[in-house]
Amino acid sequence: MHVVVVGAGIIGLLTALELSERGHRVDVVSTGIAEGATHAAAGMLAPAAEVQVGQGPLWQLMREAAADHRALAARIPALSRVLDHPLSARDAGYREDATLVVGRDHADVAGLRDLAVLQRAAGSEVDELTAREARRLEPALGPGIAGAVRIAADHQVDPRLLAHTVHAVLGARGVGIELRSVEDLDALPGDRIVLAAGLGAPGIAGPHRALDLALRPVRGDVLRLRVPREILAPGEEHLLTGTVRAVVRGRPVYLVPRDGLGLVLGATSREDALAGTSAGGVLQLLQDAAEILPAIRETELVETTTRDRPGTPDDLPLLGPVPGDPRVIVSTGYHRHGILLSAWAARRTADLVDGHPDPLPGAVRPERFTKEDA
């Protein structure tokens, strides 16, 4: 089939790659390449650490998505053979270090232990650690932490590196990538159109406008830091060996180490009136992070990025054909899990195009917030 993918965030890019791999003719149309939420995201592949009470239907998708990313990482060397320099999974941003989730005080740790019960029920392995054990694994953690859990299977990918890699592979495979805005899906060619335009979807005319997608922006401020080599002890390569998430008096914060001494600090989750970066949000992130990792005061702040996540009322994505017009497949609303769910979204969207008999879970139907459907 000829498939046009509208949007080139990580969802659109991976969907285009999967479709192209399956032999479809693919074109991508987008105002930019990975400039929205993908540009901000830390890229934690965290099906366990991001489990929240009351989000049962999401857990299964998150776990499937983590397996999809493992499969994608394993395919990177073969996929990148079309490039001048074939790449390893690490070159494309994948890292398999475990994730530590630290509690700042005893109430925070009690919350982590309660959550561990849910995480285990959802099939994840979670080890409970004392503060001393956590500091043995990550010696840069502050002396004031109260305890932690370790989640071996929660990994990370650098979304910018992955998007860059996939964009390059698409180009080398001859996938058309047109940089322009789309006003109306009906004006596009294609046997199928995948609408992966994030929060931009409702602003584009087309049959999906009959649906209430109920999307809303959930803004996130993310800081990028650089660790000066001089502050590392002899033999150390970084301040952290893996992702450290923390709960600091009930507030979540995360620190994701990158190759080349980068450190990503995130993220606020705001629905206030500020269009740009929140000074209070940045202050809170730095203060909370400094309680967990005191040496953060000695790092260089190299970038502050604010982007909107495409949120939905039930925190589940919107994936599926528009009822009555299956030419258009909606794929947006990935909220706080866009990077994790991207490989899953790509596979399931390609399954839809291929008419695969395995139905999508009803919980992600894009028409579920539309009144007539209720």
Least CB distance from residue 230 to ligand GLY, whole Å? 30
Nearer to ligand GLY, 126 or 340 (CB): 340
Cα 147 to Cα 269: distance, rounded to the nearest angstrom: 25
CB distance 246 to 253 below 8 Å: yes
- Region 260-289 residues binding ligand GLY, contact defined as CB under 6 A: 266-267
- How many of the chain's residues bind ligand GLY (CB under 6 A)? 7
Please list the residues that pair with 28 across neighbouring strands: 5, 177
- Which DSSP state fits 233? P
In the complex, residue closest to ligand GLY by CB: 336
- Region 53-92 residues binding ligand GLY, contact defined as CB under 6 A: none
CA distances from 286 to 71, 265, 304 (A): 35, 8, 12
Residue 188 CB partners (closer than 8 Å, separation 6+): 4, 6, 29, 182
Least CB distance from residue 294 to ligand GLY, whole Å? 23
Least CB distance from residue 91 to ligand GLY, whole Å? 23
Angle between helices 10-21 and 56-79 (to 10 degrees): 60
Cα 37 to Cα 310: distance, rounded to the nearest angstrom: 8
Least CB distance from residue 254 to ligand GLY, whole Å? 7
Least CB distance from residue 251 to ligand GLY, whole Å? 12
- Region 193-222 residues binding ligand GLY, contact defined as CB under 6 A: 220
Element (H, E) at 120: helix 106-121
Least CB distance from residue 223 to ligand GLY, whole Å? 12
CA distances from 55 to 76, 118, 210, 314 (A): 31, 11, 27, 8
Regarding 155 and contact with ligand GLY (CB under 6 A), the answer is no
Pairing between strand 25-30 and 44-45?
A: unpaired
Regarding 336 and contact with ligand GLY (CB under 6 A), the answer is yes
Regarding 93 and contact with ligand GLY (CB under 6 A), the answer is no
Least CB distance from residue 127 to ligand GLY, whole Å? 22
CB distance 50 to 65 below 8 Å: no
Amino acid identity of residue 360, one-letter, is: L
Nearer to ligand GLY, 207 or 266 (CB): 266
Nearer to ligand GLY, 61 or 350 (CB): 61
Q: Choose among 211, 235, 223, 181: nearest CA to 312.
A: 211
Least CB distance from residue 257 to ligand GLY, whole Å? 16
Nearer to ligand GLY, 26 or 115 (CB): 115
Please provide the DSSP assignment of 268-284 as one string.
--B-SS-SS--HHHHHH
Which residues are at the interface with ligand GLY (CB under 6 A)?
44, 50, 220, 266-267, 309, 336
